[in-house]
């Protein structure tokens, strides 16, 4: 037997082992990616399925730093899974609004405020996001990667943008609202405010921001909507709190869900939130417009 033949046999066996190991690694990677996909779209519990989903599309917004023919610093980056989080810093793959601070409001070219703007209306910019499934929201998480603290209001809409049938009525409900507050850290965080329950499912979420207290542009990476397909039985906002989270020392600061915060929200809800549909309820009905005309 030629001495070359055993060498070929050894090389063949080595090549076969490498192929098997590569196939096993690829299969494991596919399984991990599939698991991540399932976990990012839905998470089930024995009693009521909890759906956890990232935003599917950005359907409307007031402004963004990037240009229309680019993906850098545009609101389109809010759709889908995170691109940057949990990293901190200035990244072009995030969503960035056009302004920060008060300089743009103090320059001579600044637009005058609307005369009928309520004094407690603090929103400066907004972005509207759609999700794949309509759910009764139990939580909304905003992944902020640079200079957080601009989000001041979160609303849910009763209309389904993907439904071929036009809705009989469109309702906007305030899930969470707070006055602008300065955050002393510029690092990334997962903003998890306590939201109130609503009596309709939604897949259209609106974030409103106020960047007047920021020292630089705020950057958002993704939005996660938690919810259930069936209407929750519990109606109190406190029932949505995980009691295990109360052991965390930073619980009240990070999530804003401490008992003091809840008591403050309960006592000021009627004064601060106004009608259930926000300021849309202040507009006259169509019949009133006809009488005015």
Exposure b/e, 43-61, CB count within 10 A at least 16 = b: eeeeeeebbbbbbbbbeeb
Q: Residue 96 belongs to a domain with what CATH number?
A: 2.60.120.260
Assess if residue 153 is contained within a domain. Answer: yes
H-run or E-run covering 23: helix 4-41
Number of domains in the chain: 1
pTM exceeding 0.75: no
Half-sphere exposure of 274 (CA within 13 A, CB side): 12
Within-domain flag for 145 = yes
pLDDT at position 103: 81
Residue 279 maps to a domain: no
Residue 85 falls within a domain, yes or no?
A: yes
CA distance 147 to 219: 7
Is residue 263 included in any domain, yes or no?
no
Return the SS3 of 96. strand
Cα torsion 56, 61, 64, 67: sign: positive
Residue 185 forms part of a structural domain: yes
What per-residue confidence (pLDDT) applies to 69? Answer: 86
- Whether 123 and 151 have beta carbons less than 8 Å apart is answered as no
Give the helix ranges, DSSP H, for the chain.
4-41, 103-106, 251-255, 259-272, 286-292
How many whole angstroms separate alpha carbon 86 and alpha carbon 220? Answer: 11
**146 alpha-carbon distance from chain centroid:** 15
Give me the pLDDT at residue 161, please: 95
SS3 104: helix
Q: How is residue 187 annotated by DSSP? A: S
Residue 117 lies in a domain: no
Q: Is residue 67 part of a domain?
A: yes
Record the tokens describing residue 34, joined without a space.
Answer: 């599939």
The secondary element (H helix, E strand) that includes residue 193 is none
- What is the number of alpha carbons within 13 Å of residue 48 lying toward its C-beta? 13
pLDDT value for 40: 47
Place of tokens 């901190």: 88
| Omega prior to 86 cis, within 30 of 0 | yes
Number of H helices, E strands in the chain: 5, 9
Name residues whose C-beta falls within 8 Å of residue 211's C-beta, 6 or more positions apart in sequence: 97, 99, 100, 101, 124, 125, 150, 217, 218
Task: Provide the residue-wise pLDDT of the chain in tens; the chain has 293 residues.
Answer: 555 445 545 555 554 455 444 433 333 343 334 344 434 444 444 557 899 999 999 999 999 999 888 899 999 999 999 999 999 999 999 999 999 998 877 888 877 777 787 778 888 999 999 999 999 999 999 999 999 999 999 999 999 999 999 899 999 999 999 999 999 999 999 999 999 999 999 999 999 999 999 999 999 999 999 999 998 875 444 434 343 443 444 434 445 565 445 445 444 443 344 445 665 665 655 544 444 44
Range of the domain at 91: 48-108+122-234
Q: What is the pLDDT of residue 183?
A: 92
8-state DSSP, 105: H
């Amino acid at each position: 037997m030629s001495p070359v033949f055993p060498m070929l046999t050894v090389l063949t066996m080595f090549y076969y082992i490498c192929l098997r190991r590569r196939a096993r690694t690829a299969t494991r990677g596919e399984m991990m990616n599939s698991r991540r996909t399932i976990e990012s779209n839905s998470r089930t519990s024995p009693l009521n399925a909890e759906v956890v989903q990232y935003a599917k599309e950005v359907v409307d917004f007031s402004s963004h730093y990037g240009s229309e023919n680019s993906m850098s610093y545009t609101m389109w980056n809010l759709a889908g899974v995170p691109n940057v989080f949990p990293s901190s810093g200035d990244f072009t793959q995030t969503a960035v609004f056009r302004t920060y601070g008060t300089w743009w409001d103090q320059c001579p070219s600044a637009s005058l405020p609307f005369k009928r703007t309520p004094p407690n209306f603090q929103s400066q910019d907004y972005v509207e996001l759609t999700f794949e499934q309509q759910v009764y929201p139990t939580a909304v998480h905003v992944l902020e990667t640079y200079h957080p603290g601009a989000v001041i209001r979160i609303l849910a809409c009763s209309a389904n943008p993907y439904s071929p049938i036009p809705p009989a009525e469109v309702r906007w409900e305030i899930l969470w609202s707070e006055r602008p507050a300065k955050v002393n850290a510029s690092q990334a965080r997962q903003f998890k405010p306590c939201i109130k329950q609503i009596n309709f499912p939604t897949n259209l979420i609106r974030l409103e921001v106020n960047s007047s207290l920021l020292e630089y542009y705020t950057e958002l990476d993704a939005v996660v909507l938690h919810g259930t397909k069936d209407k929750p039985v519990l109606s109190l906002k406190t029932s949505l709190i995980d009691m295990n989270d109360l052991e965390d020392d930073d619980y009240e600061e990070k999530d804003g869900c401490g008992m003091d915060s809840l008591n403050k929200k309960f006592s000021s809800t009627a004064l601060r939130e106004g009608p259930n549909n926000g300021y849309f309820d202040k507009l006259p009905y169509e019949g009133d417009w006809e009488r005015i005309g």
